[in-house]
Amino acid sequence: MIPLAKRLKHRIVLQHSVTGKDRAGGRTSNWETFAAVWSEVGASTGSRVKQTEKGGDEPIPAVSIRIRYLAGVSTRMRVVHGAEMYRIDHVENERSSNHTMLLMCRGLPEGGR
């Protein structure tokens, strides 16, 4: 079995949405870095779920991402991996050991959530 440290070879950024106020007093929402961590990014699988304007299906990539345990990671966050962005659909504390986490993610269109 390959040691965890050797499998975590992809750098990802976990981001969370932060709301604030603009100059006019209205609400703004921005993505800010929660943490930059090393990860193991699984193979992308396409699941045909998004309907296109022409009536066809568009594949949406789904990936699993394993990271070391990090308190505070939730499904309200997103993952940035290179030029790709993913919504976190599920967070699993593997074996409830607080050692590793598995993030089940789905690709986001350009511009994020």
Long-range Cβ contact pairs of 3-9 (< 8 A, separation 24 or more): 4/68, 4/100, 7/40, 7/66, 8/38, 8/39, 8/40, 8/66, 8/67, 8/68, 9/38, 9/40
95 SS3 class = helix
Say if residues 110 and 99 touch (Cβ distance below 8 Å).
Answer: no
Global pTM?
A: 0.81
Domains of the chain: 4-107 (2.40.10.270)
Indicate left, alpha or beta for 112 from its phi (over 0: left) and psi (-120 to 50: alpha).
Answer: left
Give residue 1's pLDDT.
Answer: 77
What is the pLDDT, as a whole number, of residue 55?
64
pLDDT at 43: 78
| Average pLDDT of adjacent 10-residue blocks, the chain of 113 residues | 88 95 87 97 70 65 93 97 94 94 89 55
